[in-house]
C-alpha cells in the first residue's frame, strides 16, 4: 500500500481498541515487550513483563514518542522496521545493544483495519504492533553451532529458548533442540531425517525460494521470513523463520541453521484488535463503521450489476423508558436479546449491525419487495417474543421497522440509510396494529 492510499484513523479509536485487546491477548507473551503504536510512532499501548524491568515505568506511556524512550543506537535500528509496518509490511530484525551485551529480536507488522470508499475495499494501516524479545542466548547458540568442534555446543543448543535445528542442504533435519520440539509438538525422532517443508503450510512452502538462493550464493548472510506450519496436532501456527548457512573453511555450504519463533499470539492480537474496531462490544454485531462500508459495497454492486438487495432499520420502541424504569442493565440485556433474535431469524448471507443506541440495521442481498415484507412480519413477531427478566416480571420489547430496496437507481449508501430511516419513523408514527 502506498503512503498516498493511507487514511489516518482517530487516535482515540486505536487506543480504545488496543486497551480492550491487551488483557486477553498479551498474557500469552509474558517475556516479551509488546508495543502498539500509531502512525506518528507514538505509544498507544505497551505490555508484557519486560515493561516492569524498565528503569522508568512511565517511559512508555500513551502518546510518548518511541524515539524519546529507546537509546539512540537501538532506536535507529528499530525505527525503520516500525515505518515499514506503517507501509503494510511485516519485518523482523535482530538488533544488538551497545557493547554487544544483548541481542533483541524485533518483529513489527501493520495493524490493518478493513475500510473502503466508492465500493472498493482496502486494508487501512491504522498503526503497528511490535514484539521485542531478548534472543541473546539464541545468538550465542548460533556462534557455537558454527564451530566444527564446540565443547559446550550441545548443552547450549539444547537449552536455547528459541526453536533451533540444523538442516542439510536438501532441507532435512539433522539436529533439533527441545524448544523446537515444544513449538512444533513433534519429537526429535519424528523430525530428524524428515524434510522441513513437510510441516510447512503449502501456501508458504515456496515463499523463501529467492532468499534461499541468495543465501546459498553468499549474497546475504541470513534471512527471516514469516511462515505458517502445521504442528503435530494439525493446527496451523504462524512463525518467523530465521535461516542462516554454516560453511566450511573453504566456503562450501555445510548445513543450514533454522530457527522458529512462534508469533501466533501477535497474529491473534491483530485479529482481536481488528474485531474490536469493527464490532459493537455489547452485542457482538457489526458496528456502524463496518456496516456503512458493507452497505457501500452493496450499492456499488447494485449499480454495476443491477443486483437487488434490501436495507432495513429496526428501532426499539420506548427504549429510554426501559432504561429509566428498569435500569441500564435491563436495557443492555434487551439489546443483546434483540441482537440474538435478529441474527437467528436471518440468513447466513444477511448482515446485522447495531448502528448505535437502540437502532439496528440489516442488509439482505438478493431479495425483492415481497421478501422484505415477509422478513418484516417475521421480525415483528420474534422481537416481542424476547423475554427479559425484570425482577418478578418479564419485559417484552417492541420495535418499529422500516425498509427500502437497493437497486441500480440507488445513488449512494447514505441516501439508502436516510430512506430506510424515514420508513422506520413512518412505521413508528402509524397506529399500532390490533393484536390478533
The gap from C-alpha 50 to its chain's centroid, in whole angstroms, comes to 23
Catalytic residue selected from 294, 350, 358, 421: 358
Query: HEC states along the chain?
Result: CCHHHCCCCCHHHHHHHHHHHHHHHHHHCCCCEEEEECCCCEEEEEECHHHHHCCCCCCCCCCCEHHHCCCHHHHHHHHHHHHHHHCCCCEEEEEECHHHCCEEEEEEEEEEEEEEECCEEEEEEEEEEEEEEECHHHHHHHHHHCCCCCCCHHHHHHHCCCEEEEECCCCEEEEECHHHHHHHCCCHHHHCCCEHHHHECHHHCCCCHHHHHHHHHCCCCEEEEEEEEECCCCCEEEEEEEEEEEECCCCCEEEEEEEEEECHHHHHHHHHHHHHHHECCCCCCECHHHHHHHHHHHHHHHHHHCCCEEEEEEEECCHHHHHHHHCHHHHHHHHHHHHHHHHHHCCCCCEEEEEECCEEEEEEECCCHHHHHHHHHHHHHHCCCCCEEECCEEECCCEEEEEEEECCCCCCHHHHHHHHHHHHHHHHHCCCCCCC
How far is the C-alpha of 232 from the C-alpha of 218, rounded, in Å? 34
358 labelled catalytic: yes
Please, what is the angle between helix 11-25 and helix 264-278, to 10°? 130
Q: Which residues are catalytic?
A: 358
Amino acid at each position: 500500500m502506498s503512503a498516498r492510499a493511507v487514511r489516518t484513523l482517530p487516535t482515540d479509536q486505536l487506543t480504545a481498541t488496543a486497551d480492550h485487546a491487551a488483557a486477553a491477548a498479551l498474557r500469552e507473551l509474558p517475556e516479551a515487550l509488546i508495543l502498539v503504536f500509531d502512525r506518528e510512532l507514538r505509544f498507544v499501548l505497551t505490555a508484557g513483563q519486560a515493561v516492569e524491568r524498565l528503569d522508568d515505568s512511565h517511559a512508555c506511556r500513551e502518546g510518548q514518542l518511541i524515539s524519546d524512550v529507546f537509546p539512540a543506537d537501538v532506536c535507529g535500528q528499530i525505527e525503520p522496521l516500525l515505518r515499514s509496518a506503517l507501509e503494510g509490511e511485516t519485518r523482523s530484525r535482530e538488533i544488538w545493544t551497545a557493547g554487544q551485551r544483548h541481542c533483541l529480536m524485533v518483529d513489527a507488522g501493520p495493524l490493518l483495519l478493513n475500510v473502503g470508499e466508492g465500493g472498493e475495499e482496502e486494508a487501512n494501516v491504522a498503526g503497528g504492533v511490535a514484539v521485542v524479545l531478548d534472543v541473546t542466548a539464541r545468538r550465542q547458540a548460533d556462534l557455537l553451532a558454527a564451530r566444527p568442534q564446540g565443547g559446550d555446543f550441545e548443552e547450549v543448543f539444547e537449552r536455547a529458548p528459541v526453536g533451533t535445528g540444523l538442516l542439510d542442504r536438501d532441507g532435512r533435519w539433522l539436529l533439533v533442540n527441545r524448544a523446537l520440539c515444544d513449538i512444533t509438538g513433534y519429537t526429535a525422532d519424528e523430525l530428524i531425517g524428515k524434510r522441513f517443508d513437510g510441516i510447512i503450510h503449502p501456501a508458504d512452502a515456496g515463499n523463501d525460494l529467492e532468499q534461499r538462493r541468495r543465501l546459498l550464493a553468499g549474497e546475504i548472510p541470513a534471512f527471516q521470513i514469516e511462515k505458517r506450519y502445521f504442528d503435530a496436532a494439525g493446527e496451523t501456527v504462524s512463525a518467523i523463520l530465521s535461516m542462516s548457512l554454516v560453511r566450511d573453511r573453504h566456503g562450501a555450504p555445510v548445513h543450514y541453521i533454522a530457527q522458529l519463533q512462534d508469533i501466533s499470539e501477535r497474529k491473534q492480537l491483530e485479529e482481536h484488535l481488528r474485531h474490536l474496531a469493527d464490532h459493537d462490544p455489547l452485542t457482538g454485531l457489526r458496528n456502524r463503521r463496518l456496516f456503512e462500508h458493507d452497505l457501500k459495497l452493496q450499492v456499488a454492486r447494485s449499480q454495476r450489476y443491477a443486483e437487488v438487495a434490501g436495507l432495513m432499520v429496526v428501532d426499539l420502541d420506548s427504549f429510554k423508558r426501559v432504561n429509566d424504569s428498569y435500569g441500564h442493565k435491563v436495557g443492555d440485556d434487551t439489546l443483546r436479546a434483540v441482537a440474538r433474535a435478529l441474527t437467528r431469524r436471518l440468513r447466513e448471507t444477511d448482515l446485522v449491525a447495531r448502528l448505535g443506541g437502540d437502532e439496528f440495521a440489516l442488509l439482505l442481498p438478493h431479495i425483492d419487495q415481497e421478501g422484505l415484507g415477509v422478513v418484516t412480519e417475521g421480525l415483528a413477531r420474534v422481537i416481542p417474543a424476547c423475554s427479559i427478566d425484570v425482577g418478578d416480571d418479564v419485559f417484552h420489547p417492541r420495535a418499529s421497522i422500516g425498509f427500502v430496496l437497493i437497486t441500480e437507481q440507488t445513488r449512494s449508501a447514505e441516501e439508502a440509510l436516510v430512506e430506510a430511516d424515514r420508513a422506520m419513523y413512518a412505521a413508528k408514527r402509524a397506529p399500532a396494529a390490533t393484536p390478533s
